[in-house]
Structure 1
Amino acid sequence: MDKKSPKSKKTKWTALVFAIIVMVTIGFLLPPFHGLPVAGQRALGILAFAVLIWVTEAVTYPVSAAFIIALLTVLLGLSPSLSGGGGLIGSKTALEWALSGFSSAATALIAGALFLSAAMQETGLDKRVALIVLSKVGSTVKGILVGVILVGIFLAFFIPSPTARVGAMIPIILGMVTAFGLPKNSRLSALLLLATAHTATIWSIGIKTATPQNMVGLNFIEKAFPYSVSWLQWFLAAAPWSLVMTILLYLVLLFLVPQETKVIASGKDVVKKQLQELGRMPFAQIRLFFIAFFALVLWATEGSLHPFDSTTIVIILVSLLLAPGIGVLSWSNVEKLIPWGTIILFAAGISLGTVLLKTNGAAWLAKIAFQTTDIRSLPILVIVAILAAFAILLHLGFASATSLAATLIPVAIAFVEGMKDPGTIHGMGIVLITQFAIGFGFILPVNAPQNMLAYGTGTFETKDFIKTGLLLTILGYGLLIVFSFTYWKWVNIL
């Protein structure tokens, strides 16, 4: 281990220096880009820097966020004013742009939802729910697989991090496999861990609040178009796709990860024993269940039975979780359980995307990326297919869908705004479906943190993940096209 560390550190330094060189080259050394303000050219340089350090993981994601904010403030502050009237943008205005992501309602929403995730971990409600579901599905391999998938879907409604959901499931699955008398690297372990990772990815697309990248995309979408997307509207649009994909996942895993046996001896008894060891449901878990259910009802009825949006609802939720006598969290515990770095990265990503839109960098990039084929003149369904494929291929180089959303969605919006009728709901639909495609992190373990978490258990090999993920990507993309021709047209998204 010690021998590899210097090499790893040297590689990261090399990647960081290369990213800086690319940024300086784009932002300062290249001739001015036609039709793009100096601030926009420098914003593109910062974007290139961000993409390179995200892809190479030259620094951790929270550290990358600090770099991005500092660079936006300094380099844009020293850029000529966008008005063309002379003078500089100034550090005050540039700082406001660089910190705009921290004042975004989307950042508040995901930060608040992470409190709910912390409460699930603190009280152990996630483990109890998992064991209750698994105790009902029998002792066949197929039944246990269904149970694991159902638990993953359930947790997606309440835990806004696919990584946290997989993290909650891993000890339960490995504990069950050990209790079944099977080795850690058994085919059953591979089946269940692959199911857990892929379910987390599939339902991150189906549920608005299931992952941070949805909030990043929606933040830009709702600012660019005269429409908002409620929790229920997102669910009605995306959940049917996720439901069909879940059925396909079940079939793909049974086909590609064959098992030595069809029935686990005393499997149901093992789960039942673990559940009995938890004892009676404590009052804290009961309170949390009702608080979480209350929030879910408010999310589902957003815009119909009440006037509160998703962010307001989650702020109410946080207040209840911390309230004396009602809640289940203390601030000292919250500080340890909340992944604050995720929130910082999330906010910095929104800031970068906002700057790309303000400085015309996103529009220029969209024009350059698609002008050779002029795909704006193509039918909407063909445009959707091209943008979705572009997002899926681009994701191969990203370990964070949140970072990819911050990079690609502003470009997609700028592209749509260049179409003949950008103000229609169909233009918004194109960007929304592109956002769905950004969630495709099926192929490589490094395509998503939840994949790496499952891979880190050592229960399956990279080839297992690739062969299941590649088929799921093909099926998911095909299903996305089918939905574009049918369901999404019927519900007036396209």
Structure 2
Amino acid sequence: MGESQKKVGMGDNEPQKKKKGGFETGMKKWGIPVAIIAVLVLMFMPAQEGLDPAAQKSLAVFMGALILWVTTPIPIYLTSLIAILLLPIVGAVESEKEVFGTLGYDVIWLMVSAFILTSAMIKSNLGRRFSLWMITKFGRTPKMTLIVLIIINFILAFFVPSTTARATLMVPICMILLEVYKAIPGKSNLGKVMMLQGLQADALATSGIMTATAGNIIAVGFINEQAGGNIGYMTWLMASMPAAIITMALTFMIGLKLFSFKEETGFENARDQLKGELKKLGPFSLDEKKATVIFLLTVFLWATGDYHEAWFGFEISTAQVAVLAGLLCLLPRVGLLTWNDANIKWDLMLFAAGAYAVGNALDKSGGAVWIIEKVVYGLGIEKMSHGMVAVVVIFIAMYSHLIFTSKTVRVTILIPAFIALAKSLGMDPVPLALAAAMTTTFTITLPPHSKVNTIYFGTGYFSILDQVKYAIVTCFLGATVISIFYFTWFKVIGI
């Protein structure tokens, strides 16, 4: 990131580190003792009808891990390591290979490669060049610039598999626009709508692409492993991207009504300054050329997965394509990264491995079905029609981010639960779990709900109330559109 880019997003508007409230502090303090008590109670409680001993033990480990993941007295990856150790020791699984082997899942490799691709995009400055070019070329009015910024967010989601990285890229560009336009933080409606639509576009674009965040990849792992699905890159794209685009178009129009601004003169000055920023990048560098070729090849192979057998005589899976892309980025002379340049979040890899281990143990032992049956009959869900159950599940998944601030933790908790619910009710678990998974990136209601929110909120252009009232509408629209797609579009594309 260049000096000019750093300068724009920093200073007085830099996000301040959020102080922990009393409730959050209390959760951290009591998380470990509560988790231990829950494990012991469930482990040694009298045998329950329909609950096998292995299922009871896997349930105990799952509940202990769940409490620690939610209260976070220790990092979530350490909780996963504890769970991986406990499952074979207590007899919840038949072999330790069942839990240790989760680190070799294809989705784990997909996540590793996604982080390598993100590092390549950032180091090469390709994303920044593309964003500046788009705005200076097509952003002739404030309204048109807002549309271009949204389009950039959606395009970058294909190439930058990190919501935070995309926000870090986009915010300085928005700051340049608003500073030249003399938009006053907290007062300018243009500033409010630009920043709020920026964080919403980041979230909605992420929901449309399987590889745009680790949470989507983890969800696909559960759907394919536990629900018997065959969800790949193109299936997710066809199912979710149209819903994301429709929701974004609707919320864009609503945003213009909520935060109305006048088309004022002087916006051309902002474009002139951005042209200067683009000029500072100089000619297309060798690293940018390499990154472009690698990303285009990656997207091409992902998009043509159904034709690989006919073309090459063998199929290249989504994960294999991602590993190939990571390899090309790291190869000497061919690529543009060294191993030290690749910002791979191994803590997230370990968390995901533990999440899969606990989830699979609970599913294979029958513990998940037992829990869901208790919930279903306790709440009377079994009396609802399958269609109503689907709508309830989608809306619960959408607004669950108000409770669980981590996308990955939420996916780990909800997706296996919804799969088990569908099985217990005789519903097809694949479309239900996929629809629920499409909602999990809508973490847009409050600043603490995602790092992206915090980055945009730190600019000072909008208040918490501004964010809440806009997000409530957007989440409702998103859940409604996804519900409609569940009953219509999913059937058209064969899900």
TM-score (norm 2): 0.87
Cα contact 2:411–2:437 (8 A) shared by 1: yes
User: Alpha carbons of 1:48 and 1:465: their partners in 2 closer, same or farther (altered >3 Å)?
Assistant: farther
Q: Quote how far apart the aligned CAs of 1:431 are.
A: 1.9
What aligned pairs does 1:95-494 form with structure 2 within 5 A after superposition? Answer: 96-185=97-186, 186-259=188-261, 261-263=263-265, 264-306=267-309, 307-334=315-342, 337-373=343-379, 375-376=381-382, 378-420=384-426, 426-493=428-495
Over 3 Å counting, the alpha-carbon distance change for 1:9 and 1:381 in structure 2 is closer
- Aligned residue in 2 for 1:85: none
Work out the CA distance in 2 between the residues paired with 1:18 and 1:170. Answer: 41
In the alignment, residue 406 of structure 2 is paired with which amino acid?
S
Q: Does 1:67 align with 2:79?
A: yes
CA shift, 1:289, in A, is: 0.7
CA distance in 2, matches of 1:25, 1:316: 45
Mark the CA change 1:449 to 1:355 in structure 2 (over 3 Å): closer, same or farther: farther
Partner SS, residue 462 of structure 2:
coil
Q: Residues 437 and 33 of structure 1: is their aligned pair in 2 closer, same or farther, counting only changes over 3 Å? A: farther
Partners of 1:252 and 1:51 in 2: how far apart? 37
Cα deviation 1:9-53 (Å, max 9, x = unaligned): 954642433542453354346444432234433433443344334
CA contact (8 A) 1:69 1:98 kept: no
> Match of 2:5?
none
**Partner amino acid for 1:58?**
P
Query: Offset of 1:106 from its aligned partner?
Result: 0.5
Cα separation, partners in 2 of 1:100 and 1:399, compared to 1, 3 Å? farther
| C-alpha deviation, 1:6, in angstroms | 11
Residues 65 and 83 of structure 2 are in contact (CA less than 8 Å); yes or no, is this contact kept in structure 1?
A: no
For 1:13 and 1:305, locate their aligned partners in 2 and report how far apart those are by CA, in whole Å: 50
Identity %: 24
For the structure 1 residues 217 and 371, does the alpha-carbon distance in structure 2 shift closer, same or farther, using more than 3 Å as the test? same
The AA in structure 1 aligned to 2:155 is F
The verdict on how the C-alpha distance between 1:221 and 1:5 changes in structure 2, with shifts beyond 3 A counting, is closer
In 2, Cα distance between equivalents of 1:5 and 1:303: 49
2:331 & 2:192 partners in 1: Cα distance?
41
Distance 1:225 1:16, change over 3 A: closer
Distance change in 2, residues 1:253/1:55 (3 Å): farther
Q: Distance in 1 between matches of 2:357 and 2:262?
A: 51
Q: What is the deviation of 1:359?
A: 2.8
Q: Which residue identity is paired with 2:410?
A: L
What's the CA shift for 1:350? 2.1
Moved more, 239-248 or 42-51: 42-51
Partner SS for 1:458? coil
May I ask how many residue pairs the two structures share in their alignment?
A: 472
| Partner-residue secondary structure (3-state), 1:440 | coil
Deviation at 1:260, TM superposition (A): 5.7
> 2 CA distance for matches of 1:148 and 1:57?
35
1:261 Cα shift?
4.8
Distance 1:262 1:341 in 2: 48
- Per-residue CA deviation, residues 317-339 of structure 1 (Å, 9 max, x unaligned), is 111111122211111222xx333
> What amino acid is aligned across from residue 231 of structure 2 in structure 1?
V
How far residue 160 of structure 1 moved from its aligned partner, in angstroms, is 1.5
Task: Choose 44-53 or 109-118, whichever is displaced more.
Answer: 44-53
Unaligned runs of 5+ in 1: 83-88
Whole-Å Cα distance in 1 between the matches of residues 228 and 28 of structure 2? 44
- What amino acid maps onto 2:377 in structure 1? Q
Mapped pair 1:79 → 2:94 = no
Q: Would the alpha carbon gap of residues 20 and 378 (structure 1) be closer, same or farther in structure 2, given more than 3 Å must change?
A: closer
Q: 1:36 aligns with which of 41, 51, 76?
A: 51
**1:56 to 1:136, Cα distance in 2 relative to 1, 3 A:** farther
Residue 225 of structure 1, CA deviation? 4.2
Deviation at 1:151, TM superposition (A): 1.0
User: CA–CA distance in 1 between the matches of 2:264 and 2:277?
Assistant: 22
C-alpha change, 1:383 and 1:290, in structure 2 (3 Å) is same
Gaps of 5+ in 2: 1-15, 310-314
Output the CA distance in 2 between the equivalents of 1:55 and 1:444: 18
Q: Are 1:206 and 1:242, in contact at CA under 8 Å, matched by a contact in 2?
A: yes
Pick one of 47, 59, 62 that aligns with 1:47: 62
Moved more, 6-15 or 431-440: 6-15
Question: Residue 308 and residue 468 in structure 1: after superposition, are their counterparts in 2 closer, same or farther (change >3 A)?
Answer: same
271-280 or 105-114: bigger deviation: 271-280
* Cα distance between partner residues in 2 of 1:453 and 1:40: 42
* Contact map agreement 2:108 2:353 (CA 8 A) in 1: yes
Q: Measure the CA separation in 2 of the matches of 1:6 and 1:156.
A: 33
2-structure distance, mates of 1:327, 1:370: 52
2:8 aligned partner: none
C-alpha displacement at 1:458, in angstroms?
Answer: 3.1
Q: What do the CA deviations read for 1:126-178 (whole angstroms, capped 9, x no partner)?
A: 11111111112234221111111111001110111222211221222223323
Shift of residue 385, structure 1, vs aligned partner: 0.6
